[in-house]
């Protein structure tokens, strides 16, 4: 049950605070990371789904 709840909570918090995360990273590194983070999020979801499948 924990393996379903923890990723859901993490993803929810990332979505909830996405603008703040993006602003902080833009101030530090002067890089907009929308596409990089979107790709990373998709890869993480694929990894979670693969682990749940096997």
Beta-strand ranges (E) seen in the chain are none
- Token readout for 26 is 């833009």
Confidence of residue 50 (pLDDT cuts 50, 70, 90): very high
* End-to-end Cα distance, the chain: 16
pLDDT in tens, 2-43: 888 999 999 999 889 988 988 888 888 887 777 777 888 899
| DSSP symbol at 17 | T
């Amino acid at each position: 049950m924990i393996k379903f709840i923890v990723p859901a909570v993490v993803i929810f918090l990332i979505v909830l605070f996405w603008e703040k995360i993006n602003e902080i990273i833009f101030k530090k590194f002067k890089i907009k990371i929308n596409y990089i983070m979107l790709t990373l999020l998709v890869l993480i979801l694929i990894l979670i789904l693969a682990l749940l499948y096997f």
